[in-house]
Amino acid sequence: MILQGLSLTQIMTQSKSKTCQNCKAKFIIEPEDFEFYKKIDVPEPTFCPDCRMQRRMASWNERKLYKRNCDLCKKPTITIYSPDKPFKVYCSKCWWSDKWDAMKYGKNYNFSKSFFQQFYQLQQEVPVVNLLNTHSQNSEYCHDFLYGKDCYLSFLGGISENCSYATWFADDKDCMDIYRVLDSELCYFSIGCSRCYKLFFSQDCSECHSSAFLFNCRNCENCFGCVNLRHKKYHIFNRPYKKEKYLEKLKEFNLGSYQEVLKIKEKFNNFHIKFPRKFAKINKTVNVTGDDMANAKNCHYCFSGDKGAENCKYAFITGLNIKDSYDIYDTGYFVNLTYESVCVVDKCNHMLFDNGVWTSRDVQYSEGCHDSSDLFGCISLRKKKYCILNKQYNKEDYKKLIKKIKEQMDKVPYIDRKGRIYKYGEYFPIELSRFGYNESPVLQYFPLTKKQTLEDGYKWHDLPTIEHQSTIKAKDLPDNIKNIDDSILKETIKCSADDCAGLGVFRIIPKELKFYKKHNLPLPRLCPECRHRERIKQRNPIKLWERQCMKKGCPNTFQTTYAPERPEIIYCESCYNKKVS
């Protein structure tokens, strides 16, 4: 496509093909994209959508926790920064206190150096908070978390009570080992479920209770091993029973036995693969492509979004009422006009290239700032305005300097070790991330080996070689929960995974054991991190393929997260609804 000599208005009326400067793949900028970039006054991207997502994810540690001393009070704290990181880390109590001032680290802008070099230098000096964890009680082992109580090793969530090993969750109570579970209680090892009660080993269900091993069921109770059911009771593997017979039949399945659970899982997996699936989990939406989206409008290539998303693109994991935003990951509530940002939370407006900024507006290239506005290249500021590199300016000088800095970023760009060029409009380079590639969530969605990571010019974090001695191997645990007593709380269990994603060992905590005993569930054989990895594997990738409905004779096509080579039977919405209604 030849675009030379065309005006911006002419370009905005047609698509433009570009080559990603990272992976060299072709990608398309659509007319509505040009309109968005004009609206927020940024240049068009030079990285493709996938590489932009990879770059954002690599800047954020979502769930790796370490112990190190607070650099202010010197007391031990739990943090996302490993002890060998060269950054100043304050515990939450110190960071939120008046004992220090982030403004004292302010610097004059140096027009002979690239912006990213100067920001990286500022990162070495300004203290950061140990965790993003606010308004919580007894939940010190939780990150990217707010308004929680009595939660443990839980991430990307909040407004919940007594939940453990949970990720991407909200409004839950007494749940364990869950991913993307909302407004639910007493759920275990469930994924993508909402408004459920006492639901175990299930996926993509809503308003179901007192059930186990369900897939894509709605408003079901007392069901076991069922798929695609609606408004049903007393079913086992989709076969109806009278209540008395159901309860009698249910005794054949002993969920308290680990070996029995493995057999049921295998049987259920072989069973549910035979049923058709809707091409995407998209409900009550208008003009939406992606997956796991509800109550959204005009959103494309968007995944895992809650109610109210509108006019968004290339978004993954978003909260309520996200409007007019592109290229975002892990955003919270009421976020508007945001681009290329991570963990922007709670009433934010016009946020560009930010990381971990809350309740702010008109902020660019900043991280860890709260309740602020009109910031550029700032770190850890609270209730500040008109600041650049943590230095204060008046409004007029701030506006003039911002314009000059943007022009300088184009003239003096940052060039990384692989020759990738970062001018104004690009997110932070991966090689300048505070975290190793394997510490960030990017490894789950864009997997690379250590060798590949280093060859691509990114960081890899080598954990210190520490021998965590186990007192018992997972394979030697008693099979049935009824044969477990409180002595297990003293044991250090060796994870049964050959390539353990965690520390290789784990322990059972008291409330966890109480949960297993109360609900007749076996002890896990995998550590919490490996269990999380098992749940992630059950979710589809954040990628779309063009496919045709597999219902014989149906010509409908759609974009789906099910790759063509996968074995599932994929239907369009019309054919699927006829099958399950």
Phi-psi group of 271: left, alpha or beta (phi > 0 → left; psi -120 to 50 → alpha; rest → beta) = alpha
Domain contains 532: yes
Name which of 38-52, 162-176, 318-332, 361-375 the model is least confident about: 318-332
User: Which of 300, 343, 358 minimizes the C-alpha distance to 324?
Assistant: 300
Cβ pair 43, 423 in contact under 8 A:
yes
pLDDT in tens, 112-122: 999 999 999 99
Q: What is the mean pLDDT of residues 180-204?
A: 97
Residues 552 and 497 in one domain: no
Name which of 84-98, 199-213, 494-508 the model is least confident about: 494-508
Residues 426 and 500 in one domain: no
Query: What's the chain's Rg over C-alpha atoms?
Result: 25
Q: Please say whether the dihedral angle defined by the alpha carbons of residues 387, 321, 283 and 182, taken in this order, is positive or negative.
A: positive
User: Which of 534, 482, 546, 407 minimizes the C-alpha distance to 257?
Assistant: 482
Residues 458 and 477 in one domain: no
Cβ pair 491, 463 in contact under 8 A:
no
Nearest-angstrom CA–CA distance, 228 and 236: 13
Residue where one domain finishes, among candidates 225, 260, 277? 277
pLDDT value of position 6: 45
Q: Write out the residue range of the structural domain in which residue 567 sits.
A: 545-580
Q: What is the mean pLDDT of residues 262-270?
A: 97
Residues 504 and 434 in one domain: no
Contacts of residues 195-198 at CB distance under 8 Å and 24 or more positions apart, as own/partner, are 198/519
Which DSSP string do the residues of 379-441 spell out, in sequence order? BS-BS-EEEETTEE--HHHHHHHHHHHHHHHHHS-EE-TT--EE-TTPPPPGGG-SS-GGGST
Name which of 211-215, 247-251, 330-334, 516-520 the model is least confident about: 330-334
pLDDT at 84 over 90: yes
- Name beta bridge partners: 545: 560
Q: pLDDT-based confidence at 184, cuts 50/70/90?
A: very high
Contacts of 182 (CB under 8 A, 6+ apart): 169, 170, 171, 172, 193, 194, 195, 306
Residue where one domain finishes, among candidates 413, 447, 464? 464
Q: pLDDT-based confidence at 533, cuts 50/70/90?
A: very high
Number of C-beta neighbours around residue 457 at 10 A: 15
User: Which of 491, 499, 500 minimizes the C-alpha distance to 473?
Assistant: 491
Domain contains 25: no
pLDDT value of position 345: 85
Give the three-class secondary structure for 289: strand
pLDDT at 87 over 50: yes
pLDDT at 199 over 90: yes
Nearest-angstrom CA–CA distance, 368 and 122: 13
Give the three-class secondary structure for 56: helix
Query: First CA to last CA across the chain, in angstroms?
Result: 47
- Chain-centre distance of CA 488, in angstroms? 32
Which DSSP string do the residues of 481-533 spell out, in sequence order? GGG--GGGGG--EEP--TT-SSSSEE---HHHHHHHHHTT-PPPSS-HHHHHH
Residues 484 and 552 in one domain: no
pLDDT at 244 over 60: yes
pLDDT value of position 503: 87
Token pair belonging to 329: 């990951």
User: Which of 540, 539, 530, 522 minimizes the C-alpha distance to 503?
Assistant: 530
pLDDT value of position 299: 96
Nearest-angstrom CA–CA distance, 414 and 99: 35
Where are the extended beta strands (E) located within 80-196? 89-90, 128-129, 133-134, 143-146, 155-158, 164-170, 176-182
> ∠ CA(145), CA(148), CA(154), 5° rounding?
50
Cβ pair 87, 468 in contact under 8 A:
no
pLDDT at 452 over 90: yes
pLDDT value of position 14: 86
Q: What is the mean pLDDT of residues 249-256?
A: 96
pLDDT value of position 9: 52
- The per-residue pLDDT of the chain, averaged, comes to 94
Contacts of 102 (CB under 8 A, 6+ apart): 126, 127, 379, 380, 381, 382, 390
Q: What is the mean pLDDT of residues 147-160?
A: 95
Residues 394 and 454 in one domain: yes
Residues 496 and 518 in one domain: yes
pLDDT value of position 333: 84
Q: What is the mean pLDDT of residues 332-340?
A: 93
Cβ pair 360, 348 in contact under 8 A:
yes
Name residue, tokens 């110190």.
94
pLDDT value of position 581: 64
pLDDT value of position 463: 76
What is the number of structural domains in the chain?
5
Contacts of 571 (CB under 8 A, 6+ apart): 276, 277, 278, 279, 549, 550, 551, 554, 579
pLDDT value of position 506: 96
Q: What is the mean pLDDT of residues 273-297?
A: 95
pLDDT at 347 over 70: yes
Contacts of 381 (CB under 8 A, 6+ apart): 102, 103, 366, 369, 370, 372, 375, 387, 390
Domain contains 61: yes
Name which of 100-109, 269-278, 304-313, 397-406 the model is least confident about: 304-313
Q: pLDDT-based confidence at 1, cuts 50/70/90?
A: very low
Residue where one domain finishes, among candidates 464, 488, 514? 464
Domain contains 241: yes
Give the phi and the psi of residue 118 in degrees, each rounded to 5: -70, -40
Domain contains 554: yes
Cβ pair 558, 544 in contact under 8 A:
no
Sort strands 297-305 and 286-294 into parallel, antiparallel or unpaired: parallel
Residues 526 and 572 in one domain: no
Domain contains 122: yes
Name residue, tokens 């076996």.
522
Cβ pair 148, 158 in contact under 8 A:
yes
**Residue 29, CA distances (Å) to 11, 302, 320 in order:** 10, 16, 27
pLDDT value of position 319: 82
Rounded percentage of the chain residues whose pLDDT exceeds 70: 97
Residues 54 and 119 in one domain: yes
Domain contains 429: yes
pLDDT in tens, 291-335: 999 999 999 999 998 788 999 999 999 888 899 999 999 988 899
Which DSSP string do the residues of 295-320 spell out, in sequence order? S-EEEEEEEEE-TT-EEEEEEEEE-S
Give the three-class secondary structure for 480: strand
Secondary structure, 3-state, 539-551? CCCCCCEEEECCC
Residues 259 and 181 in one domain: no
Determine the residue type at 48. Answer: C
pLDDT in tens, 438-448: 999 999 999 99
Residues 457 and 482 in one domain: no
Predicted TM-score (pTM) of the model is 0.92
Domain contains 148: yes
Q: Please say whether the dihedral angle defined by the alpha carbons of residues 214, 217, 218 and 221, taken in this order, is positive or negative.
A: negative
Number of C-beta neighbours around residue 554 at 10 A: 13
- Name beta bridge partners: 504: none
Q: What is the mean pLDDT of residues 82-100?
A: 96
